[in-house]
A = this chain, B = another copy of it.
């Protein structure tokens, strides 16, 4: 029952629709209908459809960037850092799984300036991840497989959590974290 602004309500409703059909296939009329108002009324609260998308995506990307910076700067070994990254993804997914659909699938529809900003954040995030894994390999904590395959495999799973988590009804967040860490780091056989 927190006093959510109308703008925030619109953005939340939009994130749900973007998740279902993608940014391009959702019309302002669809969004208005979901809010129970007419399309023209939306423009009293937001400037454009594009503004909704960039708010959803940039806020989330900054959240990941902040989280990753803390992990990079903490004084832990590679394995612990990767565990923190898994935690970060699970926490963000629990808080805003709808928005993650746009982050994953609709970032290419950002306009020039935000697109560049987003791509830089994503690149830096992946680079930080890669460096953590590399250091883990150097220090013989992590097996010497292809770095890209290990990073890609872990990130793919974490980035797709938003699709899967809402379908799991009886799973506790801490259990999910624990099992995810086990599966991703220690394997299934």
Chain A residues engaging chain B, CB cutoff 8 angstroms: 20-25, 79, 105-106, 108-109, 133, 136, 141-143, 145-146, 148-150, 152-154, 156-157, 159-160, 164, 168, 171, 175-176, 179-180, 182-189
In whole Å, how far is A183's beta carbon from the nearest beta carbon of chain B?
5
In whole Å, how far is A115's beta carbon from the nearest beta carbon of chain B?
12
- Give the nearest-CB partner of A182 in chain B: B145
- Residues from chain B with Cβ under 8 Å of A24 in the complex: 21-22, 24-25
In whole Å, how far is A44's beta carbon from the nearest beta carbon of chain B?
27
Contact assessment for B185 and A145 in the assembled complex, using a CB-CB cutoff below 8 Å: no
- Residues from chain B with Cβ under 8 Å of A143 in the complex: 182, 187-189
Contact assessment for B149 and A20 in the assembled complex, using a CB-CB cutoff below 8 Å: no
- Residues from chain B with Cβ under 8 Å of A21 in the complex: 24, 108-109
Contact assessment for A108 and B20 in the assembled complex, using a CB-CB cutoff below 8 Å: yes
- Give the nearest-CB partner of A78 in chain B: B189
Contact assessment for B108 and A142 in the assembled complex, using a CB-CB cutoff below 8 Å: no
- What 7 A-B pairs have minimum CB-CB distances, sorted nearest first? A187-B187, A24-B24, A156-B160, A24-B25, A186-B187, A156-B157, A153-B157
Contact assessment for B185 and A189 in the assembled complex, using a CB-CB cutoff below 8 Å: yes
Contact assessment for B156 and A188 in the assembled complex, using a CB-CB cutoff below 8 Å: no
Known: A22-B108, A149-B180. 17 other contacts (CB 8 A): A22-B22, A22-B105, A23-B25, A24-B24, A133-B188, A145-B182, A145-B188, A146-B171, A146-B175, A149-B176, A150-B188, A152-B164, A156-B156, A156-B159, A183-B187, A185-B189, A186-B187
